[in-house]
Amino acid sequence: MELRFVYIGSSNTERDLAAWLALPGARLRWRFHAFDADVAAVDTGAPPVLLLADHRPAGSVLPIYAVGDHDATGTALRDAGWELEAGPLGTPEGPASVWRDASGTSIALLRVDRPDAMDAAYADDANTHAIRATS
């Protein structure tokens, strides 16, 4: 398992993105508005990538772990007492699921089948969902 993303809930993606980009070395990796969600990826120079999202509860933090075998890892979590909260879910990178432990802490599992899907979509000038900074 590798911590790939930290999903951070936002009540105002534009405002919060500016705050996160003020971190030394931080840069916008991509940003999209689709399906009534505004999601921005902030690269701080070292993993994980931070995902600011207005469709997540403001102030919430969800670690997303990349796993090689999504099903086997989910089975291992279930056997250890975790409950499936959501999933399987389709994401641009691959299948995902959200799990909750007995204390109520949630994590997500992601099988990365398409590791460059979001970067490629953002690089596509024809993508009408991409939000690009204007100079």
Q: Would you say residue 91 lies in a domain?
A: yes
Residue 135, pLDDT above cutoff 60: no
Residue 105's domain comprises 2-123
**pLDDT of 20 above 70:** yes
Confidence of residue 33 (pLDDT cuts 50, 70, 90): very high
Q: What pLDDT shows up at residue 134?
A: 59
Residue 35: predicted pLDDT: 86
Tokens of 22: 């003020």
**What are the C-alpha distances in Å from 42 to residues 6, 15, 85?**
10, 13, 26
Q: Which of 110, 66, 60 is nearest to 90 (CA)?
A: 110
Is residue 68 a part of any domain in this protein? yes
Please count the structural domains in the chain. Answer: 1
Q: pLDDT tens digits, residue range 35-79?
A: 899 999 999 999 999 999 999 999 999 999 999 999 999 999 999
Full 3-state SS string of 1-31: CEEEEEEEECCCHHHHHHHHHCCCCCEEEEE
Q: What number is the average pLDDT over the span 70-96?
A: 96
Buried/exposed 89-106: b ≥16 CB within 10 Å, e otherwise: eebebbbbbbbeeeeeeb
pTM above 0.85, yes or no: yes
CATH number for the domain spanning 47: value is 3.10.180.10
pLDDT at 82: 98
| 118 in a structural domain | yes
Asked if residue 131 is part of any domain, the answer here is: no
Is 17 domain-assigned? yes
- C-alpha 73/C-alpha 65 separation (Å) is 11
Question: What is the length of the chain?
Answer: 135
Query: Alpha carbon of 108 to those of 12, 72, 80: distances in Å?
Result: 23, 14, 15
